[in-house]
Amino acid sequence: MQLVEPRPARPLPIRLTPLIDVVFILLVFFMLTTRLLPVEHLLLDNATTPTGSATSASISEITLYGDGTLGWRGQHLSIPAMVRKFTENGTGEVNLKATGEASLANFTTTLSALKSAGIDVHWMRANASSNREGQ
């Protein structure tokens, strides 16, 4: 005497309709919440203004240009050379200004190089009218 019916030999089919509904809901969610801005146009605006340190000495301001060089007091040096110059001078704080032509990769490389050297960095995007003179 058998009390339980045996399972059918064929597997039960998977219903695709609920899976398709979930995929479409996820698609709509990500389409509505994603910002489709290119990385090159990511704004790096910051409310940082040039300030002085606690000892009222002015903080050095360096400018990152589109070719990956840093400008400071009329000099244009590579990122490692500028970091060496600041560590030799004992500079502990700088204002970093990125021009509109500066790439995000150069900006993050500069920021991480300065921070890893123990230099406190305040950054802001330069105005579109900024040029290489006057630095």
Upper half-sphere CA count for residue 19 (Cβ side, 13 Å):
3
Residues 90/64, Cβ–Cβ less than 8 Å: no
For 60-123, CATH number out of 3.30.420, 3.40.50, 1.10.287, 1.20.1250 equals 3.30.420
At residue 53, the pLDDT reads 46
With bands split at pLDDT 50, 70 and 90, how would you rate the model's confidence at 87?
confident
Q: Please state the rounded mean pLDDT for residues 107-118.
A: 85
Q: What is the identity of the amino acid at 63?
A: T
For 69-80, how does the pLDDT look when each residue is reduced to its tens digit (9 = 90+)?
888 888 888 888
Residue 91 CA to residue 72 CA, distance in Å, equals 13
Residues 81/47, Cβ–Cβ less than 8 Å: no
Residue 101 CA to residue 65 CA, distance in Å, equals 7
Indicate the pTM of the whole model: 0.50
Largest CA distance in the chain: 100
